[in-house]
Amino acid sequence: METAIRDSADRLAKKEQGCLVYLHQLQESSRMAKFSTSSYDIRQLRTFTTVVEFGGMSAAAIKLGTSLSSVSRDITALETRLGIALCSRGRSGFSLTPHGADVHGAALQLLEAMKIFEQTVDHSRSSAGGTLTLGSIDSVITNPEAGIVRALSQIHRILPDIQVNVSMHPVSVIDVKVRNSELDMGITAQPEGLPALVYENAFKENQRLYIARYSPHVQLAKAVGEALSAGREPPAGSRIPYIARSYRADAFSELERVMPFQVVARGSSLESILASVLAGLGCAVLPAHILSKAGGEQLMEIPTPFTPMDVQFHFAYRRDSLKLRAIRTMVACFHEAALKR
């Protein structure tokens, strides 16, 4: 009897051991499956590398053109997915953990390898055609000084098999999209000086301070502008309602520092800023060519010591792009179009 009980116990122990081994194998298989990279992981890794590059989630959200909560969700989801803490964030600021530094280095290598793969495929396709993606801000298309229509027409004649796709973006994300190969080329007035990019002068856009003729603030704006232009102090306590950019615009920093502006609204696009001006909310710096779009009789220029001003726009493209021939042809077409204005 004791022998039978002992044999039964041994068989039970072996079965239990076998179950444990099987469960361990399942756990190992599950653990390995967690690290199979998906397209969703790639997006989260792009977010993570941007957060590291710009030193925090708030700056990364601006550069990515998304919300702070979206960036935070991506980082949290990536940490959950990997099972490790990547960074610390809070009152003490943003910093990488040792694991985060390892993942960041690996992510940069992965994204670079993907970029090289995509560019190689695009380069192979370009022999039979292919696409060239051009990103810009909204005001450039209607600016005759930019010569975009003439340049696009010319590149179509020179490279008829290349399809040029033009898209509009907030100025704060153009450099990053070019750096990430989401755009082949960008046109921007706020170059970020990213090391991976080449910047070339494109054209200048004439900017002036405008207010709606029927705005209740028009007399105040004129009085302040004329006083400053003549070297006099404006009336005490004068504050001109002003519609500012919701993004950084270094070209206007001196004007905004000296003029007695009171920011009453902000706009992320030329259309939204123009709408606020036409609604009578206040004045704003706008490109001179906007008069033909808004109707010159609706807007009045306010004289200032700083305007009119010419804002320099730049071409931006990756220095290692495999589409350099098409990009340089496009740049040459823009320069030639500028000479024919």
Q: pLDDT by residue for the chain (341 residues), tens digit each? A: 445 445 544 554 454 454 344 334 434 444 444 455 666 688 899 999 999 999 889 888 888 888 999 999 999 999 888 889 998 877 777 889 999 999 999 988 888 888 777 766 665 655 545 788 999 987 777 777 777 888 888 888 888 888 889 998 888 889 999 998 899 999 998 888 888 899 999 888 889 999 999 999 989 988 888 888 888 887 777 899 999 988 878 888 888 988 899 999 998 888 889 999 999 999 999 998 877 766 667 899 998 888 889 989 999 999 888 777 788 888 888 877 766 66
The reported pTM is 0.62
pLDDT at 34: 46
pLDDT at 212: 92
pLDDT at 211: 93
pLDDT at 268: 84
pLDDT at 16: 45
Q: Which residues have C-beta within 8 Å of that of residue 34, sequence separation ≥ 6?
A: 81, 82, 83
Distance, in Å, from the CA atom of 183 to the CA atom of 131, rounded to the nearest integer, reads 11
pLDDT at 296: 66
pLDDT at 20: 40
Q: Are 178 and 291 in contact (CB under 8 A)?
A: no
pLDDT at 137: 82
Q: Are 182 and 144 in contact (CB under 8 A)?
A: no
User: Nearest Cα to 301, choosing from 236, 234, 207, 238?
Assistant: 207
pLDDT at 15: 45
Distance, in Å, from the CA atom of 201 to the CA atom of 331, rounded to the nearest integer, reads 10
pLDDT at 1: 47
pLDDT at 289: 84
Rounded to 10°, the helix 98-126/39-54 angle is 120
In sequence order, the β-bridge partners of residue 200 are 315
Here the tokens at position 228 are 């400053």
User: Nearest Cα to 282, choosing from 264, 298, 294?
Assistant: 264
All structural domains of the chain, each given as residue ranges with its CATH number in brackets, are 39-120 (1.10.10.10), 122-200+313-339 (3.40.190.10), 205-311 (3.40.190.10)
3-state helix, strand, coil in the chain (%, to 5): 50, 20, 30
User: Nearest Cα to 48, choosing from 77, 27, 28, 26?
Assistant: 77
